[in-house]
Amino acid sequence: GEHCTGDAIKMGESVKAQTIDLEWVQVHPTGLVKPDDEAAKVKFLAAEALRGVGGLIFNRDGERFCNELGRRDYVTGEMWKNKAPFRLCLNKAASDEIIWHCKHYTGRGVMKYYESGEALAKDMGVPVEKLAAAHQQHYEASKKQEADPEGGKWDAYPGGKSHDEPSGKTGVGKKFYHNVITGAQF
């Protein structure tokens, strides 16, 4: 974010320190922001496990736009191309799998539990049908991937082919799926 200015690197360079491979400095795409204090200087780093257990990332308009399992720099780059705020959403099976993390984040006020997909959609200001359709598309892509792992239309990460359109269009198609649900289950 804008608060990351590289001050330590600048200080080092001012006394003739050498830098190398700065393009490999890691960024982390899924930090958590307290909704009631977005400007807080202290942010929470979201464990990558939230994406790994099947979390889906939606932009402001309720659209998936990347391979949630992609490398940090890729996910961050796709976020820069999209509209904030972003939502990292877990279904019940995914949140149950990493319940300690979810309790930790909800206790700090940076993660929220919703009784239903409709409640999430209302909070995001998008039609519930849009989020349900995104879940259905993700579910269908997972089933196609299972049945035909190399028959997808898009290049996959880390290799092979993907049936997942939102991530496939970025050139880094999703190949692995975990804790998927249908649109009707959303």
Catalytic residue flag (residue 51): yes
- Give me the catalytic one of 51, 87, 138, 163: 51
* 175 vs 90: CA distance, rounded Å: 18
* 75 vs 133: CA distance, rounded Å: 22
Sequence-ordered list of residues with C-beta below 8 angstroms from that of 89, at least 6 positions apart, any chain: 55, 56, 57, 58, 120
- Say how many C-beta atoms besides its own lie within 10 A of residue 170's C-beta: 20
Closest among 56, 52, 61 to 90, alpha carbons compared: 56
Closest among 26, 164, 167, 30 to 85, alpha carbons compared: 30
Taking CA 12 as the corner, what is the angle to CA 8 and CA 15, rounded to the nearest 5 degrees? 145
- Say how many C-beta atoms besides its own lie within 10 A of residue 92's C-beta: 11
Catalytic residue flag (residue 87): no
- Give me the catalytic one of 3, 28, 108, 178: 28
Catalytic residues, by residue number, are: 28, 51
